């Protein structure tokens, strides 16, 4: 039930977004392909439903991929490119924990079969929220840009706000998109500094709820890089507002989650989502996801439609 719930909820969210964004001035459009390729959306959805019903943990990584793609060089699929010398975005430390590439391979294969040469890799990343399509694929992918440009989980509130503002996103986008951490998993390595030796005195992060810290310590022993935990314990397969409730109780997993309480505006919006228990979350999330999906898109000559997502043509 879990991941299918996620899918249904994301589908709902797209419907909201379709109502809100009919088209925009960048050449991205809702319904860019359907006129020529009416079967495209069902083809993509079929593949994704099939993959996710076989492995229900694979819904969240698509959202994370879209975020990592859009924040570096814009939403143009550059994080998918592979480099023989391991110098592409994909090889940068924050991208090493991305997973679910096999879904995109399967989608690309099906899309090429259905509408050969016409649909970019940047566009196939998420039909459930990515209702505006028409992006071209970029041709450049640089490890160092991802290393320095992706926001680390240790980020404080000023780094978070600046990182989002630099890409045209505001504090509401920051909080609501962080709500994506209501689903999915994290490796211990992404937050274990908060459990052990936070300030060099064998201490835990004092802003982390101590009961939650004790539970995390049972799962992540000192030095453990590889074990994984649910980011939203008990509800990590359900796309809901429990992330906001947890962060408000000082149970956000990353410093970047906890940091949302350190600014009047972000804290107020977070508490609004937590207390209101959701009526605006899907709509707000859909709007912010569409906004994020417009960052640095290429719609003209500067891009291409890759034949294979991992290589420039």
Catalytic residues: 68
Torsion-angle region of 125 (φ positive above 0: left; ψ -120 to 50: alpha; else: beta): alpha
Residue 37 or 212 with smaller CB distance to ligand HEM: 212
Q: Provide φ and ψ at 199, rounded to 5°.
A: -115, 20
91 is in an annotated binding site: no
Shortest distance (Å) from residue 87 CB to ligand HEM: 22
Residue 40 or 213 with smaller CB distance to ligand HEM: 213
| Exposed/middle/buried for residue 25 (C-beta within 10 Å: 0-12, 13-18, 19+) | exposed
Q: How many residues does the chain have?
A: 313
Q: Where on the chain is the footprint of ligand HEM (CB under 6 A)?
A: 60-61, 63-64, 67, 97, 99, 151-153, 155, 160, 177-178, 180-181, 183-187, 190, 254, 256
69 is in an annotated binding site: yes
182 is in an annotated binding site: yes
Torsion-angle region of 142 (φ positive above 0: left; ψ -120 to 50: alpha; else: beta): beta
263 is in an annotated binding site: no
Shortest distance (Å) from residue 307 CB to ligand HEM: 27
Residue 54 or 301 with smaller CB distance to ligand HEM: 54
8 A C-beta contact, residue 290 and residue 66: no
240 is in an annotated binding site: yes
Shortest distance (Å) from residue 23 CB to ligand HEM: 22
Q: What span, in angstroms and rounded, lies between the C-alpha atoms of 105 and 107? A: 6
Residue 43 or 150 with smaller CB distance to ligand HEM: 150
**CB closest to ligand HEM, residue no:** 184
Q: What span, in angstroms and rounded, lies between the C-alpha atoms of 135 and 271? A: 35
Shortest distance (Å) from residue 198 CB to ligand HEM: 16
Q: What span, in angstroms and rounded, lies between the C-alpha atoms of 34 and 40? A: 7
Q: What span, in angstroms and rounded, lies between the C-alpha atoms of 6 and 261? A: 26
Binding-site annotation, residues for heme b? 181
Binding-site annotation, residues for Ca(2+)? 69, 74, 78, 89, 182, 232, 240
Binding-site annotation, residues? 69, 74, 78, 89, 181-182, 232, 240
């Amino acid at each position: 039930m879990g991941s299918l719930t996620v899918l249904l909820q994301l589908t709902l969210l797209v419907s909201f977004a379709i109502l809100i964004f009919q088209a925009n001035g960048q050449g991205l459009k809702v319904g860019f392909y359907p006129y020529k390729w009416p079967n495209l959306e069902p083809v993509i959805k079929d593949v994704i439903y099939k993959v996710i019903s076989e492995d229900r943990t694979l819904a969240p990584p698509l959202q994370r991929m879209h975020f990592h793609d859009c924040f570096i060089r814009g939403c143009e699929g550059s994080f998918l490119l592979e480099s023989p010398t391991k110098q592409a975005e994909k090889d940068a430390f924050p991208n090493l924990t991305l997973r679910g590439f096999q879904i995109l391979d399967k989608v690309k294969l099906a899309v090429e079969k259905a509408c050969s040469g016409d649909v970019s890799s940047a566009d196939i990343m998420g039909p459930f929220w990515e209702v505006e399509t028409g992006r071209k694929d970029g041709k450049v992918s640089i490890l160092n840009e991802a290393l320095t440009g992706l926001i680390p989980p240790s980020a404080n509130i000023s780094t978070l706000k600046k990182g989002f503002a630099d890409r045209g996103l505001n504090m509401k986008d920051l909080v609501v998109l962080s709500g994506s951490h209501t689903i999915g998993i994290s490796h211990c390595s992404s937050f274990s500094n908060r459990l052990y030796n936070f300030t060099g005195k064998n201490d835990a992060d004092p802003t982390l709820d101590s009961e939650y810290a004790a539970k995390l310590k049972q799962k992540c022993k000192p030095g453990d890089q590889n074990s994984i935990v649910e980011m939203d314990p008990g509800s990590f397969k359900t796309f809901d507002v429990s992330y906001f409730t947890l962060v408000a109780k000082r149970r956000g997993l990353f410093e970047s989650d906890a940091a949302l309480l350190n600014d009047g505006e972000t804290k107020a919006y977070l508490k609004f989502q937590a207390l209101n228990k959701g009526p605006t979350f899907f709509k707000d999330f859909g709007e912010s996801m569409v906004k994020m999906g417009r960052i640095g898109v290429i719609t003209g000559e500067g891009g291409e439609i890759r034949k294979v997502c991992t290589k420039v043509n």
